[in-house]
A and B are shown apart, each in its own frame.
Chain A
Amino acid sequence: MNISFPHLGFYHIPIKTLLSTLFPEAAVTPPPPITRRTLELGARHSPDFVCAPFKYNLGNFIEALENGADTLFSAGGGCRFGFYGGLIEQILRDLGYRFTFVSLFNADGLKIGRIRREVKRLGGRAGYPGLAHALLLAFASVALMDEVDIYVRQNAAFEVERGAFDRVRAAFLQDLASVRSFSALRKTDRVYAGRFLSLAVRRPQKALRVGLVGELFDLMEPFANRFIERELINNGISVSRFVNASYLLNQPKSLERKTVKAASPYLTHAIGADGTFSVAKTHRLARGGFDGIIHIKPFGCTPEVNAMPALQNISRDCGIPVAHFSFDAHCADSAVKTRVEAFCDMLKMRKGL
């Protein structure tokens, strides 16, 4: 058995650890890193105006199957995402591939019983203690990764030695890949906390702060947003982003009501998937002294399109610039770069830098 799953940022590291613990006999190979070819493959076989994450997932699966994978893991939930699995499976079968397709969680959310059933069916280790340990370790690794990411995003723009943050982060991810226990994870945490804090940072008096809001896949997958975070950091901006895997995994039931409340008076009800969160976050950041907001979504993402009228009103009422970026299968890097640069220049002029 050769297991594979779609990419999402750097999260393939904890997912790979998780799956190889659950299936000790199987080979777990994440698909090759996302390239232009992945996107082209995915776009060629997708319906025309399905959203970009679908195209990336499909491209990942095709490349994984080309590499010899025979068991594909998929996830779902939220708006259209919950219905991805069925169509992706059909498209891959029509292309003539033979594989087992496993959907670990769907629109209902994460259910441990369901995961256990699927693991058992595939002949993996499904004892409760082992499963619980593996899942908790994966969650803890994800939490640590997100913590590191947040620190890097906020500070990398002001590094003294160019590329230092990226270098330490790469080393961290490499070490994380070999972590198999909580003690090893704690050790990694300690070591890299020290290394990150020892990196010299020269933060100017008036540093520009930009918040990223929008659709989760395009926010978390750097290729999908044409490395927009990197672009902002290169322009000397401290970046904040609140949508990450930890946010997705720790969503209490009461969150929706709280989010709607935070988005009031612009929203009275939830507007679907992460659209409500985008509005609530933008509203809060606008009050919290941020200099600008970048709203990222795949083309035609209904929840985020729903959020746009509210975002435009927040922008007008609170006087904060909001830039909207839509990504699809065709996107030139230079177009994004130009727009980001112009946005940054405008922010600098507003602040008198």
Chain B
Amino acid sequence: MKIGLPRAFLFHRYETLWTEFFLRLGHETVISPPTSRAVLAEGIKRSVDEACLPAKIFLGHVSYLIGKCDYILIPRIESFGKNEKTCVKFNALFDIARNTFFECPRRVGLSDSDSAPGAVSKPDPARAPRRTALITYNVDALKGKHEMDGFVRMGKMLGTKKGESKAAYLHAKKSAAEVDAARFFEELKKLFFRGNAHDTGNQLHSVSPLSPCALGAAPSMDTVSGFPAAARPCVMLVGHAYNLHDAFIGEPVVKVLQSLGAAVVFADRLKSPKLTASITEELTPGLYWTFQRELVNAVGLYRSRADGLVLITAFPCGPDALAHELMLRRMSDTPVCSLLVDELQGEGGVRTRLESFMDIIRMKNNFVGVREASPRSAEENLKMKT
């Protein structure tokens, strides 16, 4: 069967887990392409005005996948334990998609008496041999619903036996942990050796992530800017994975920062296996959103290695509004630039703000002149003007 994975929201967090799980069970996965203007426009059309930007993008991706696969995976995640909650958006995504896309036959059926004619058309096997349905798994550890149970149930829906699903889940979980570890060390390498600014992206190194050579293999000279890698400012991008790695929200920011000669470190990939409670409590007391706490944790542990932080928020993110504000108020030792991205974003505004932010970092750290001397920057400036 073909399983569609919308490249939005939790895909950026669970990519390996999902793809490996379905691969192991012998299903094909269809991943929607990176967010484009068209996907965003479709998402905006399908969404409630006040929904947050990533949610609009998400619906755009779901809409793209409809008709191209048998099932679309939309998990429902509420909590991972005490004080480990998610934004309520993730409680509702499945239901939002169900209510928005009527062309999806509902798995949890709407009885005929409940619906007006036309609201839900009965799947006609002759006319529509392949229709897309939604599939979900529920994670609410506080109520005893753990991730593995969710995957097993999902496997059952796809016609797999319990043992097989369990094995597939464990296998996928292991590969996901490996990929996460590789990414973690990749980011650490950037943080400590300032290298590799231009090949960050999604590439994973063929070197075993845990071997010591992965850590030690920092280039001594940056081939692109022609300057010693150690002299490059290192900027930590703080934001949800679904913002940082989205082609519309985060990637333009990353590109601009890299063109300005910065080594970009993704805070979302610096998640430690165990959260350091004291750090979250110090920076953001009482915080109970897991995704947010991971970021705060990374900021608390590694910000002294970075020259500056760029906080990325998508409009109007509820948890970010509170957590970022509190973090900003309690952190005066690092330069911070807070970027708010909305659906009308133009690159010019982002570039202007990031340029001045980079200038501040350079002045603060006596990096002055690096940018002017860089052979690349003049070229880029020209490109910008044309």
Question: Which A residues fall within an 8 A CB radius of B?
Answer: 47-51, 54, 79-80, 82-87, 90-91, 94, 106-107, 264-273, 275, 299-303, 305-310, 312-313, 316-319, 326
Could you tell me if A270 and B50 are in contact, using CB atoms closer than 8 angstroms? no
Could you tell me if B326 and A300 are in contact, using CB atoms closer than 8 angstroms? no
Could you tell me if A85 and B87 are in contact, using CB atoms closer than 8 angstroms? no
Which residue of chain B has its CB nearest to the CB of A50?
A: B321
Could you tell me if A86 and B285 are in contact, using CB atoms closer than 8 angstroms? yes
Known: A106-B286, A268-B98, A317-B115. A80 touches B91 (CB 8 A): no
Could you tell me if A269 and B321 are in contact, using CB atoms closer than 8 angstroms? no
Could you tell me if A47 and B108 are in contact, using CB atoms closer than 8 angstroms? no
B95's contact among A85, A90, A310, by CB below 8 Å, is which? A310
In the assembly, what is the distance between CA of A85 and CA of B286, in Å?
Answer: 8
Interface residue ranges of B91-120 to A (CB < 8 Å): 91-92, 94-96, 98-100, 106, 108-111, 114-116, 119
Q: Is B88 interfacial (CB 8 A cutoff)?
A: yes
Could you tell me if B325 and A79 are in contact, using CB atoms closer than 8 angstroms? no
A90's contact among B78, B91, B108, B330, by CB below 8 Å, is which? B330
Of B64-72, B151-159, B312-320, the segment with at least 4 beta carbons within 8 Å of chain A is: B312-320
Known: A50-B322, A91-B329, A265-B110. A313 touches B92 (CB 8 A): no
Question: Which B residues fall within an 8 A CB radius of A?
Answer: 48, 50-52, 76, 78, 83, 85, 87-89, 91-92, 94-96, 98-100, 106, 108-111, 114-116, 119, 136, 138, 284-288, 315-319, 321-326, 329-330, 340
Could you tell me if A305 and B322 are in contact, using CB atoms closer than 8 angstroms? no
Could you tell me if A265 and B316 are in contact, using CB atoms closer than 8 angstroms? no
Known: A90-B329, A317-B115. A271 touches B286 (CB 8 A): no
Could you tell me if A80 and B318 are in contact, using CB atoms closer than 8 angstroms? yes
In the assembly, what is the distance between CA of A307 and CA of B88, in Å?
Answer: 11
Output the least CB separation between B321 and chain A (Å). Answer: 5
Residues from chain B with a CB closer than 8 A to the CB of A307 are 92
Could you tell me if B99 and A313 are in contact, using CB atoms closer than 8 angstroms? yes
Residues from chain A with a CB closer than 8 A to the CB of B115 are 317
In the assembly, what is the distance between CA of A246 and CA of B153, in Å?
Answer: 38
Considering the complex of A and B, which 8 residue pairs feature the smallest CB-CB distances, nearest first? A272-B88, A271-B92, A306-B92, A309-B99, A49-B316, A47-B325, A300-B316, A265-B110
Could you tell me if B88 and A303 are in contact, using CB atoms closer than 8 angstroms? yes
Known: A86-B284, A300-B318. A47 touches B324 (CB 8 A): yes
